[in-house]
Amino acid sequence: MNIPNRITVSRILLIPIFLIIMLVPFDWGEIHLLGADIPVTHFIGALIFIIASTTDWVDGHYARKYNLVTNMGKFLDPLADKLLVSSALIVLVELQDLYAPSWIVILIISREFAVTGLRLLLAGEGEVVAANMLGKIKTWTQIIAISVILLHNIIFAMIPFRFDILSLWVALFFTVWSGWDYFAKNLHVFKNSK
């Protein structure tokens, strides 16, 4: 296993730590940032999520720079993204005091399952599909939305509207669009499947 793949695995290993911080009822109080009171657990959870998310850029950059792109990496990288984002979205729904409507989360996670199924069909045909630019934009809009929601919109406290809501809608838009794009470009697998 090369270094980029190990970085990807570290992203997966940060997920249980994120879940423990967010879901175990620690009473660490609140911190006051930019006019907003944030539970310490949400702030720490956001930091863990952001650190885990940045490994997505690090592993990809390292793999391309040193020509270490592998089929395992093409498989692990989107899987790690899906696990991290899905875990965080489900946590947001459970917490209920943060903006993450269950129907939006269901659509986002459903798209991830559908594309993963498509990738499995393509793999059965001997094709490995790496994430395209639209898929990467989708992932980063999801990461931004989740981070903003976890941080209670504090970064954008001076903006006269709920940036957390807007960012989640943008993420939903790119999620649906990129899912449609994957299927539109790979319809041949359904014609070839027996």
43: domain CATH number is: 1.20.120.1760
Whether residue 30 is contained in a domain is answered as no
Domain membership of residue 96 (yes or no) is: yes
Query: Residues near 138 by Cβ (< 8 Å), separated by ≥ 6?
Result: 171, 174, 175, 177, 178
Q: Is residue 28 part of a domain?
A: no
**What is the C-alpha to C-alpha distance for residues 19 and 21, in angstroms, rounded to an integer?**
6
User: Quick check: is 113 in a domain?
Assistant: yes
Quick check: is 139 in a domain? yes
**Distance, CA of 31 to chain centre:** 26
CB of 98 closer than 8 Å to CB of 92: yes
Tens digit of each residue's pLDDT, the chain (194 residues) = 789 899 999 999 999 999 999 999 988 999 887 777 888 999 999 999 999 999 988 988 888 888 888 888 877 888 898 899 999 999 999 998 778 999 999 999 999 999 988 988 888 888 877 678 998 899 899 999 999 999 876 766 667 678 888 999 999 999 999 999 999 999 888 876 65
- Would 57 be classed as within a structural domain? yes
Domain that holds residue 178: 3-23+36-192
Is 31 a domain residue?
A: no
For tokens 């650190």, what's the residue?
A: 51
Residue 29 lies in a domain: no
Domain count, the chain: 1
